[in-house]
Amino acid sequence: MKSEAPFTRPSLKEALDAWKKLLAERGFATDIIWIFAENLCVEKSRAGQGGFHFGFQTRFTPPSEDALDIAFEHFGETNAPIVFYRLGGRPGKSVCMLLCDSWFANKRKAAGFFRRDEWRVWFYPGPKDEIEEVTDLTRWLRRVKRGRAFHDLDFGMTLETIDEMKMYGRALAPYERFAAVMLNRLRRFLGQPA
């Protein structure tokens, strides 16, 4: 069994400084819009059959100001690589996500990933493409939620998990989420506040 090389996670500030430096070297904006799983808008591509394209929104599910801090701290408790991932640009801004999973362990520079193995943090500055901001509620509600292949972006933090960490100090297990939903339904049925 192969043992993993030792690493020390940086502070969020150190990691952000390294990320912004790489973005600037690539000619990308260092003013960042951070998005999370609920902010992604996946739609069927009009250009090709069976394809998908990514957009984002922050109007309908805006992240809290401390969401990035909480996600980085939570991901930092794992041994999996943390990935700073740029999806695309907007005028004067880069749209980015923080990802984490062992899925990224074998990603290399040939695939566009810049590794800091001593931190177990990877950086993916991505292409120069612009990313569309979706502001139409109907498009947002009709976004694709199932029926597509896994993508790197499927390993982002959810705002729901961030809310759980704020309320309970940890992410809930699936059975705990189910129990909370059922309890709230029962309370509404009985006319009690949820």
Report the C-alpha gap between 74 and 16 in whole angstroms.
Answer: 16
The whole-number pLDDT of residue 160 equals 85
Reported confidence tier of residue 1, pLDDT bands at 50, 70, 90: very low
**Rounded average pLDDT over 148-171:** 76
Any idea what DSSP says for residue 77? T
Q: What are 86-131's pLDDT values in tens digits?
A: 999 999 999 999 999 998 989 999 889 999 999 999 999 998 989 9
Residue 144 neighbours by CB distance under 10 Å? 13
Q: What percent of the chain stands above pLDDT 70?
A: 92
Question: 36-68: per-residue pLDDT in tens?
Answer: 988 988 887 776 666 777 889 999 989 999 999
The listed range with the strongest mean pLDDT (11-25, 118-132, 175-189) is: 11-25
Q: Please check the confidence at residue 81 and state whether its pLDDT lies above 80.
A: yes
Dihedral sign (CA 37, 111, 126, 130): negative
3-state secondary structure at position 85: strand
- Average pLDDT, stretch 146-152? 67
Stretch (H or E) spanning 93: strand 93-100
Give the Cα separation of 184 and 172 in Å (integer): 16
**Interatomic CA distance for residues 85 and 95, integer angstroms:** 9
